[in-house]
Amino acid sequence: MITSQSQITVRYAETDMMGVVYHGNYLPWFEVGRTQLLRECGVVYRELEQEGYRLPVIEVGCRYLRPALYDDTITILTKLPERPLIRIRLEYEVRRGEELLATGFTVHGFINHQGEPVRPPARFTERMRELFAGQPDQA
C-alpha cells in the first residue's frame, strides 16, 4: 500500500452560512490528495496529459461522518491499496487532527485525448511494479 498526506485550510467559499463545508467540496480535496500521491510516486499528471493520457473518474463514493468547518486545517490521507493494472482505485480519509470527518474512494481509467479507453503508459506500469514489488497483484 502506498500512502500520502496533504493538508488544506478550509476556505470560507467552501462553506455554507453555518460555516460547514458543502458536501461537494470533498471531491476536489480528493483530487488534491490523488495528485499529491501520484507526484510522490514519480507520476506527474501534467506529464501524463502531455503524453496523450487522461485519467477520468469513473466511480466515486464518499461517506460523511462529521462536518469540516471554516478555517479548519484538515489532512487528506490518500491510499493506493493495490497495484493498478488497468484501473486505479484510490481511498481517502479526511481528518481534523485525529478526528475522522469523511472517507471516500475514486476509481479511474486511462483514456486518450479522443476519449477512447487505453492501457496505461509503460512507464506508469513499470513504476507501479517497482513500488508494489513483493506484493501480490490484485487490481
Q: Return the active site residues.
A: 16
Assigned C-alpha cell, 3 = 500512502
The DSSP result for 55-92, as a single string, is: --EEEEEEEE-S--BTT-EEEEEEEE-S--SSEEEEEE
How far apart are alpha carbons 78 and 107 in whole angstroms? 13
Inter-residue contact 48 to 69 (CB < 8 Å): no
Residues 6+ apart with CB under 8 A from 60: 27, 30, 104, 105, 106, 107
